[in-house]
Amino acid sequence: MNNFTDILRAHHLKATPQRLEIANTLYSHGHVNIEDLYETMLKKFNSISLATIYKNINLMIENAFIQEVKIPNTKSVYELTKEAHSHLVCDNCGHVEDISLDLSAVSALASHSTEFEINKADLVFSGLCKKCQ
């Protein structure tokens, strides 16, 4: 198990049992939506509310410990912060996978043809995962 106590502290977050559980859940599952996170948390903290989880999640996002992945037409998932990457989402089972892609050429092309100053590119591919094909 990772020592998330120190990592949380490095992000100026107190390592509460709830935050450690969120960190471990994201670590072992990769990407988790709020409902699945709530279900997992309930097993350990049987009186925890969804509002408390959201409060922790938002604070952990603010402090860059975790990040939100916005997926079109479905709920966001959360993951531990790592270097910039794109995502593949399965239309059938909802599985989310990371892929590291260099988007600089695409961003440059988009910027040239629109005169937009691009700060960030989020790319989400959808389709069927290996298991669902």
Question: Which residues contact Zn ion (rule: CB under 5 A)?
Answer: 79, 90, 92-93, 95, 98, 129, 132
Q: In this complex, which beta carbon is closest to Zn ion, that of residue 18 or of residue 98?
A: 98
- Nearest-approach distance from CB 49 to Zn ion, in angstroms: 27
Q: Cα separation of 42 and 35, whole Å?
A: 11
Q: What are phi and psi of 60, to 5 degrees?
A: -70, -30
Q: What is the closest distance, in whole angstroms, from the C-beta atom of residue 58 to Zn ion in the complex?
A: 19
Q: Would you say 29 or 95 has its CB closer to Zn ion?
A: 95
- The Cβ-side half-sphere exposure at 33, using a 13 Å CA radius, reads 10
Looking at the Cβ atoms of 47 and 100, the one nearer to Zn ion is 100
Q: Which two tokens stand for residue 113?
A: 């043809």
Q: Which residue has the tokens 């593949």?
A: 88
Least separation in angstroms between residue 97's CB and Zn ion is 8
